Copies of this chain bind each other. A is one copy, B any other.
Amino acid sequence: MGAPENPSHNLRVSAERLWGNLMQAATMGGTAKGGVCRLTLTEEDRQARDWLAKQATALGCAMSVDDMGVMYARQRGQRNDVPPIAIGSHLDSQPTGGKFDGALGVLAALEVLQTLHAAGYETFAPVELVNWTNEEGSRFAPALTASGVFARVFEHDWALARADRSGIRFGEALEKIGYRGSERCGTRKFSAHFEVHIEQGPVLEREGKDIGVVTGVQGTRWFECTMTGAEAHTGSTPMQGRRNALIGAARVIEAVDAIARAHPPLAIATVGLLEVRPNSRNVIPGETFFTIDMRHPRDDVLDAMEHKLGDAVADAASALGLSAALTKIWTQPPVVFDPDCVECVRRAAARCGYSMRDIVSGAQHDSAYVARVAPTSMIFVPCRDGISHNEAEFSSQEQCARGAQVLLHAVLEFDRLLAHRHGQK
């Protein structure tokens, strides 16, 4: 016989309990089509937060909330002076989102805590579940608000002053649902940060892999554009001399698509949000407001795409007699995750016997910001047809459980690393 097997190696999450929690969370903001509408800091979000706090508290975790509404549920370890290993994601969703985006990461983290608790297994470092506020950016732009503040990318006051389309500020919304804590976001330290997420793309499913070992995140740039022409009556204004702001938007929408297609295969670009003013059937649109999302793993390609976007807006405006204002509101450079964290994920997947591949995340995640201030990696699981940000989003009970199982063992791998660093066996 060799050395005695480490008891942690046999720990297994409960696929049924995790699935039950996913389905339970999906009732909070659940939609008729089986999706979720749980916009950040709404009543539905509050409900899900309260429920999560109750689950974590039942495990004996200490709850805290910071001034960006980020929730932390800490399970003590042997050495509580060592910063915790953080695990989590977000509970907010898109307006017509699915059951898994964000929720899987939070509930896989809860499942890890539940598994450790049930086994009476004490980690070396504390393990801390984190629920990041406003990952999606649907209600308040930019996305990743709280993790951005945590990573000192955004200023506290600036973040609190972000307003939704009806003028309500982020800080007000936090207060309204009772989740504006006193701890200053970003003062807390993590030994590491791991996040499970559905891939939100087609690669793992297409290649039949169980787990994506996420080595980094592609770069993202967000823009806002306002084009202004002149409102006029659709019935008595000749075509000659019209200044139609919606024609301008239409040209830029087409151009954004063409710019991405001109940089294959990795460039992607999208106009997802467009508002027309006054938006009446018989008024020539006087103003349009729209957003542009551009992504690529390389900054030099993003520079070229951004340049083309500026040209497209200027060309459309000048041809149509419009004025235009294009603003870059968010830049997320390409991110490379911590090699130790990535290796812990890889070893965990191997220990569980799952097939895997390295992958660069197409979507942005809180982990991309947290990686600036703590060693970080992510774990992807396949999702059906690569569909996400959609009510039809789906990963199976087994796929979700594999993600949680790899998260558990990545935590334990990193915990052993920490113990080793602190001179423990």
> Chain A interface (Cβ within 8 Å of chain B)?
94-96, 136-138, 141, 143, 199-202, 218, 220, 222, 230-240, 244, 246-247, 249-251, 253-254, 257, 260-261, 264-265, 267-268, 270-286, 291, 293, 295, 361-364, 386-391
Contact = CB atoms under 8 A, between A and B. Distances in A.
Given A279-B273, A389-B280, A239 B251 contact: no
Contact of A220 (B141, B235, B271): B235
B388 A232 contact: yes
Contacts of A137: 281-282
Contacts of A293: 234-235, 281-282
Contacts of A220: 235
A274 B272 contact: no
B239 A247 contact: no
A272 B282 contact: yes
What's the number of copies of this chain in the assembled complex?
A: 2
Nearest to A274: B276
A379 to B, nearest CB: 15
B362 A283 contact: no
A222 B232 CA distance: 17
A251 B235 CA distance: 22
A232 B272 CA distance: 10
Contacts of A268: 234-235, 237-239
Contact of A247 (B200, B253, B264, B291): B253
B272 A285 contact: yes
26 contacts: A94-B282, A95-B283, A96-B231, A96-B277, A138-B281, A199-B236, A218-B235, A231-B390, A235-B362, A235-B364, A236-B361, A237-B268, A238-B268, A239-B264, A244-B270, A246-B253, A246-B272, A246-B274, A254-B254, A270-B282, A272-B276, A272-B279, A273-B280, A274-B279, A281-B293, A282-B363
Contacts of A240: 265
A254 B251 contact: yes
Contacts of A235: 200, 218, 220, 268, 293, 295, 361-364
A423 B257 CA distance: 74
Contact of A244 (B201, B234, B257, B285): B257
A280 B138 contact: yes
Nearest to A295: B235
Contacts of A390: 230-232, 283, 286
B280 A233 contact: no
A283 B246 contact: no
Contacts of A251: 250, 254
A391 B287 CA distance: 13
Contacts of A278: 94-96
Nearest to A101: B233
Contact of A233 (B261, B285, B363): B363
Contacts of A361: 235-236
Nearest to A320: B257
Contacts of A283: 94-96, 138, 272, 389-390
